[in-house]
Structure 1
Amino acid sequence: MDADLRKPSIHYAFNISNIHGLTSVLTKKMDLRKTISNSNVSNLDILTSGPIPPNPSELLNSKAIETAINELKGIYDYIIFDTPPVLVVTDSQIVANKCDGVIMVVASGKTNKQSAVKAKELLEKANTALLGVVLNGMESDTSNYYYYQS
Structure 2
Amino acid sequence: METDMVRNEQQTAASGKEYIEILGDTVVPVRILSAIVISICLSIGGYFLGKSIFPKIAEAKMVGSYSLLLGIAGSVIGLILCARLFKPSRILTEDDTSKEGLEEILTSMQTDPQAEYELIKDDPVTKKEMEELGIWESFKNSGGRKQP
Interval of TM-score (by shorter of Structure 1 and Structure 2):
under 0.3
Larger Rg: 2
TM-score where L is the length of structure 1: 0.23
Which one has the bigger helix percentage?
A: 2
Which one has the bigger strand percentage?
A: 1
* Greater RCO, 1 or 2 (C-alpha within 8 Å, sep 6+): 1
